[in-house]
Amino acid sequence: MDWHQIFATRNDGMKASEIRELLKLLDQPDIISFAGGIPDPDLFPAAAFQDAFSQALSADTQAAALQYSVSEGYGPLRDWIVKEMARLGIPCTRDNILITSGSQQALDYLGKLLLSPGDTALVGWPTYLGALGAFNAYEPRYDRLDPDTNRSAEDYAQAAGEGRVKFAYMSVDFANPTGKTLDGAMRERVIDLADALDIAVIEDAAYQSLRYEGEALAPVLAREIERKGNIDACRTLYCGSFSKTLAPGLRVGWVCGAQEVINQLVLLKQAADLHSSTINQMAIATVAEAQFDSHVAKIKSAYRARRDVMLAALAAKMPEGVTWTQPEGGMFIWLELPKHLNCADLLARSLQTERVAFVPGHAFFADGSGTNTMRLSFSRTDEKSIEEGIARLGRLITAAL
């Protein structure tokens, strides 16, 4: 049977994730991988989760842990998130929180909720590959979000053509893939632009807790609440996750936003998977309540050291003409090579000769540009391997030049 003839047209925009494919290389012991932006499993609070799951399965709570539950999410976990949001300057209630199966599910739901075919999503250039994958299924157009330029709302509206601009998506702290942070003035400009266009703002905060230096900046949603008085008057939707702080395998994230939007997302949740795993939510709530801050401090210390080693190695081993970002947190460093080099070709050569993996940067551009860029992740690799891997990569790039 020719299945393609009966697939929906939205499938034409769906592509395999280059990062998911590269993660398969982790099974090859001689590969030094800077490809997957994933936490180090040696830093997981495994013992705490073992106790938390045992507690969830005790006689008093096992029925709730193993039974169907409400779509909005486990109440005590939502209460913990409410307190965490307040610490970030985002006062809200349970009714402003929806638990999702990772923040990736939140992006899929928001794409489904907001995009009609031909509508425009404003995204970074480059932007998170997983966001493009989530939005592509809903057949949007993409335009470049430029909060640091004088591009007007009218310019964006005209570029949208017959469709309309629906939202601006961005990761404002230590963004995937660049590691860059949006400064306060640019965060304010995004709110101004969204108000002028009457669109939503999707604030991807997956790395917000992983700051290693510098002053913490108020989230976009916190800034909008300061302007408008309360969260239900705001257009910003904050997407959080426990994947980078506690454990990605449990797939627990959340959306925080105006209750009107949360209510609609709950309907999507009910149609898609009814609710996220209750026992996983219970375990996350227990561990977060007991040691979120202390555990985050532990992983920040480890990742900060690895970032510093990678930055020092890049300064020592990269040839002239290669530039890179200096992230204040997160998991990524972004390299830009001379224009005539193609990083997809370099990756193929690197895997053959140097046994070093990275992600070619074109995957993060909605138009496939940026062929001379690459993303390096330092979170999963020990310091000695980082030094060796960057030395090999510097040798490869020097030869290519």
Find the CATH number of the domain harbouring 11: 3.90.1150.10
The strand pairing partners of 98, in sequence order, are: 255
CB 362 within 8 A of CB 18: no
CATH code, 106: 3.40.640.10
Q: What is the pLDDT of residue 13?
A: 72
Structure confidence at residue 17 (pLDDT): 63
Do 89 and 225 fall into the same domain?
yes
Query: Do 251 and 272 share a domain, yes or no?
Result: yes
| Residue 59 backbone dihedrals phi, psi, to 5 degrees | -60, -35
Domains contained in the chain, number = 2
- DSSP, collapsed to helix, strand or coil, labels residue 333 as strand
The pair of structure tokens assigned to 134 is 């989530």
Same domain assignment for residues 190 and 279: yes
Phi, psi of 180 (to 5 degrees): -80, 155
Decide which of 291, 326, 341 is a domain's last residue.
Answer: 291
Tokens of residue 222, six digits: 């916190």
Give backbone dihedrals phi and psi of 7, rounded to 5 degrees, phi first.
-65, 145
Q: Do residues 24 and 111 share a domain?
A: no
Domain boundary among the residues 269, 291, 313 is at: 291
Contact 174, 211 (CB under 8 A): yes
| Predicted model pTM | 0.95
Rounded CA gap, 282 and 287, in Å? Answer: 9
Decide which of 266, 291, 316 is a domain's last residue.
291
Task: Give the H/E segment covering residue 376.
Answer: strand 373-377
Query: Do both 230 and 311 map to the same domain?
Result: no
Residues 303 and 286 in one domain: no
Query: 172-187 as b/e, with b when 16 or more CB fall inside 10 Å?
Result: bbbbbbbbbbbeeeeb
Do 9 and 53 reside in the same domain of the chain? no
DSSP letter at 331?
S
Beta bridge partners of 356: 32
Same domain as 337, residue 276: no
Asked whether the beta carbons of 153 and 193 are under 8 A apart, the reply is yes
Question: Are residues 276 and 370 located together in one domain of the fold?
Answer: no
**20 and 116 assigned to the same domain:** no
Looking at the structure, tell me whether residues 311 and 227 fall in a common domain: no
pLDDT at 18: 61
Give the structural domain span for 352.
3-44+293-400
Domain shared by 82 and 171, yes or no: yes
Tell me: the pLDDT tens digits for 22-42?
666 656 788 999 998 899 999
Contact 335, 376 (CB under 8 A): yes
In which residue ranges of the chain is pLDDT below 70?
A: 14-27
- In contact, 209 and 245? CB cutoff 8 Å: yes
Tokens of 176: 């995937």
Q: For position 248, what pLDDT does the model report? A: 97
